[in-house]
Structure 1
Amino acid sequence: MSKILAEIHQEVQELYQAGFVDAGTMRTFGMLCLHPVKQYTPADIRALRERENVSQPVFALHLNVSKKAVQKWERGEAVPNSAAMKLLSLVDRNGLAILA
């Protein structure tokens, strides 16, 4: 989240806590502030793993998927599900240590 968006989110959250913003509006605003999840290509996934300097089995262990899943993603034989895409996005932004 950008610094400006984080500050706006904080202000709206304070308005919610003070009773000036209802729960539905706060939930909607919170969803708008989420990072969009990038759709990773096979090359992106391999580059991300190599950037983190780990093997396919180690990468799979951190993502809680099988080694075969990572192999298939990198060969383009399968596509990560939405939860795996979110984890890949977190690793991309914060490094593999975020999942350790």
Structure 2
Amino acid sequence: MHDGNESKKKAKTSRLTKELLETAHDMHKSGLLTMAARDKITMRHLGASDIPAAATAQITGADIKAIREEANLSQAVFARYLNVTAGYVSQLERGDKHPSGPALVLLNVIRRKGIGAIL
């Protein structure tokens, strides 16, 4: 039989995982590990609750349109960069739909760092 405490124990970050993440952070600081490689390790070992809030912050349709216009891109080209359809970008900008998953993360990266961050 499983008790309720067993699932709580699995949800905690293990000492080994903490050490791995600290090592990856130090390797990145010293230039031995790229940011992309460090982030891949981090995302693989952290739970969804530990994902930085900035990566999943909600974006309004007006924000999306402003991001796209600032990058001087049509809806079709912007959609291609996000790996979605132009119709979906249009729905996002009108507020008919709200981005989620990888599209939301990419939009937040573009909002923080500019379109060059994903090109």
**TM category, shorter:** 0.5 to 0.7
Q: How many residues align?
A: 80
Query: Percent of counterpart pairs with the same letter?
Result: 34
1:72, 1:52 → 2: CA distance?
Answer: 19
C-alpha distance in 2 between matches for 1:62 and 1:90: 12
Structure 1 residues without counterparts, runs of 5 or longer: 1-20
Q: Over residues 16-39 of structure 1, what are the superposed CA-to-partner deviations in whole Å (9 max), with x where a residue is unaligned?
A: xxxxx9323347885558352220
Change (3 A) 1:26 1:65: farther
Name the aligned partner's letter for residue 22 of structure 1.
R
State the structure with more CA Rg: 2
Contact kept? 1:62, 1:96, Cα under 8 Å: no
Gapped regions of structure 2 (runs ≥ 5): 1-13, 23-41
TM-score by length of 2: 0.57
- Aligned counterparts, 1:12-91, within 5 A: 22-26=15-19, 32=50, 34=52, 36=54, 37-91=56-110
